[in-house]
Amino acid sequence: MRFDTHPYGVVAGFYDELAALYSLGRIPATKRLQRDWIARGDRVLYAGVGRGEDALEALHRGARVTAVDLAPRMLERLRRRLGREGLEATLLVGDVARVDLEGCFDVVVANYFLNLFDQAHAEAMLARLVERVAPGGALFIADFAPARGGRLGRWLTALHYRPVNAIAWALGLCAWHPIFDHRAMLGRAGLVIEAEVRLSLGCGPDPAYVSIRARRPRQGSEEGGGAGVACAGASPSARPSS
């Protein structure tokens, strides 16, 4: 097997463990929250899937999963896990904005993915992901949460976030940027937020992590919607929002 020089390939063996330790378990917890938002038969796309614990949860729920990542070593670990558990998924190495994907998806998941980019590139990537969501489908995001606790909350959040952002930036894992206002970004992308769960580290209201479910309105909906349909094929499952 060739040596994977992608930065995330280098840290594939311990990345999830470090993320769980650093966040006191909140990073994996925000991903697990999403399993109840997925229904059997959903066609789900994971952008920047990494080792894919959240994708495995979706497979156990009966979803049809396509997982994309730039780091072959990350996907290889997921592939071995699929083999051990007797599960099947489509795994693609590459940039999710450029890989060949067939049709729309009921759900597109971008967990701790948009924070790899600066603000402008994150907004552009979000627009590309929304194009892959079928009208009436959903987009999930789990990520660092903006501060809510006034000046003290902002200070505590920065104290928690900035050191790891600096280390990841120095290692070439992400851009240098503040925590994004995901609600505003999703609104600008034409999505309607249906659910938002915030998990604090337990030291007051901040710092925290968040998991968000946003819906892409159907064409002609009174709710509106910014993005045009860029994909064809699979239509979202007919089920009520929970």
Report whether pLDDT(235) > 60.
no
Confidence of residue 9 (pLDDT cuts 50, 70, 90): confident
- Within a domain: residue 46? yes
Confidence of residue 211 (pLDDT cuts 50, 70, 90): very high
Report whether pLDDT(240) > 50.
no
Q: Which domain holds residue 118?
A: 7-215
Consecutive H or E run containing 135 = strand 133-144
**Mean pLDDT across the chain, nearest whole number?**
88
Confidence of residue 12 (pLDDT cuts 50, 70, 90): confident
Average pLDDT score over residue span 71-92: 95
- pLDDT tens by residue, 24-51: 999 999 999 999 999 999 999 999 999 9
Q: What is the pLDDT of residue 4?
A: 52
By CB neighbour count within 10 A (0-12 exposed, 13-18 middle, 19+ buried), where does 59 fall?
A: buried
- Within a domain: residue 50? yes
Consecutive H or E run containing 52 = none
- Within a domain: residue 43? yes
Confidence of residue 222 (pLDDT cuts 50, 70, 90): very low
End-to-end CA distance of the chain: 44
- Residue 194 belongs to domain with CATH number: 3.40.50.150
Report whether pLDDT(196) > 50.
yes
Average pLDDT score over residue span 137-165: 94
The count of structural domains within the chain is 1
- Within a domain: residue 241? no
- Within a domain: residue 222? no
- Within a domain: residue 2? no
The 3-state DSSP class for residue 145 equals coil
Contact 237, 41 (CB under 8 A): yes
Confidence of residue 223 (pLDDT cuts 50, 70, 90): very low
- Within a domain: residue 242? no
Residues with Cβ within 8 Å of 87's Cβ and at least 6 positions away in sequence, in order, are 56, 59, 60
Residues with Cβ within 8 Å of 46's Cβ and at least 6 positions away in sequence, in order, are 52, 54, 55, 58, 65, 66, 67, 68, 109, 111
- Within a domain: residue 224? no
